[in-house]
Amino acid sequence: MDDSRLYWIAFSLVKGIGAVRFKALLDYFGQAEIAWQAPPEALRRAGLSDKIVSNLVNLRSSVSLEKIWDKVQSQGITVLTWEDETYPHRLKEIDQPPPVLYLRGELRLEDEWSVAIVGTRRMTAYGRQAAEDIAETLARSGVTVVSGLARGVDGVAHQAALNAGGRTLAVLGSGIDRIYPPENRRLAEQIITQGCLISDYAPGTPPEASNFPPRNRIISGLSMAVIVVEAGSNSGALITASFAADQGREVFALPGKITAPQSQGTNRLIQDGAYLLSDPREILEILDLAMVTEHRAARVVLPGDAVEAQLFEVLSHEPLHVDEIRARTDMPIEKVTATLALMELKGMVRQVGGMNYVAVREVGSPYE
């Protein structure tokens, strides 16, 4: 077994090791495999506490990594790590992105245009209608709908996106093989065919209450914006909105009656500066998503050429300034900027601010 992802999976099983500690281990040892096999004293020098070292050593002696890998493969689970080009770039930019993602279904480059819809499990008829209208509008406009597969608003948003022929991503608070709530299993199977189930919890992880607040950072992290349909004063949807604000995402909220418990949270979000959502089309205008379908079509109808290939060759996932790109390719700056603009329309590159660009590589791309 020589797939390095196996050791990333192994660390996802160790209690007490999250994104920060795992990055510290990679910085110290260089590779996950070396860190996994390191003696206790080396692990302590890398910054792990005695308790976490004990957890790791005990797990190391009690699990078969080969059996875990066989289980992952037999269940059709895809594993992505920070090292994979197909790891969602928007998620990778957040503070402490999950080192490992487990997927069932398919993530596509078009999912770059994603918006989250979240809300209470105890929605009203007003909330249901709004969630359906918003999800349908987004899906018909080529925008991927992200939510958490929970009862209430989440499930309605997923289903409406599917019914409209769109794509949807569901982020779980359990292992990818432990669908919760159980009544959404059929919905989950539908999502696999028109989107993807996503979790940063290892297969077999039960849906414990403590898992759900942290997974909300992934819902917002995958998305350009978060829409809160209905939320009580202590709703988990408000946690997602808070993560979104911290991550620099836009937050929209549906206004409601001041006497309705399900609108206490959304009304407070609006009071605190969230966009008041009165029409789903406002989302497309504010986020400049009206041209998503055209952008997606441009990738197919506009062919690449030698200039694009040369520019793409010098780019990676690390930002590179346009002046440096010009220097490395020895092209006139006008040709560089014009071609980069076209490549951005085609989804081949992305500007990350300050005239810095990164490559966006799809699986199977001729530029890989």
The rounded percent of the chain whose pLDDT value lies above 90 is 67
pLDDT tens readout for residues 263-277: 999 999 999 999 999
The bridge status of strand 349-351 relative to strand 100-105 is unpaired
> What is the domain class of 302-359 according to CATH?
mainly alpha
Structure tokens at 190: 């539908």
What number of residues does the chain have?
368
Structure tokens at 35: 């860190």
pTM higher than the cut 0.75? yes
């988990």: which residue's tokens?
236
User: How many beta carbons lie within 10 A of that of residue 187, not counting itself?
Assistant: 18
The bridge status of strand 100-105 relative to strand 195-199 is antiparallel
pLDDT reading at 363 higher than 50: no
Indicate the burial class of 220 (C-beta count within 10 angstroms; 0-12, 13-18, 19 or more).
buried
pLDDT tens readout for residues 176-206: 999 999 999 999 999 999 999 999 999 989 9
Indicate the CATH number of 105-286 among 3.40.50.450, 3.40.50.720, 3.30.1120.130, 3.30.230.10. Answer: 3.40.50.450
Nearest CA to 133 among 243, 283, 320, 240? Answer: 283
CATH topology of domain 1-68: DNA polymerase; domain 1 (1.10.150)
pLDDT tens readout for residues 85-121: 889 989 998 999 999 999 999 999 889 899 999 999 9
In the chain, domain spans = 1-68, 105-286, 302-359
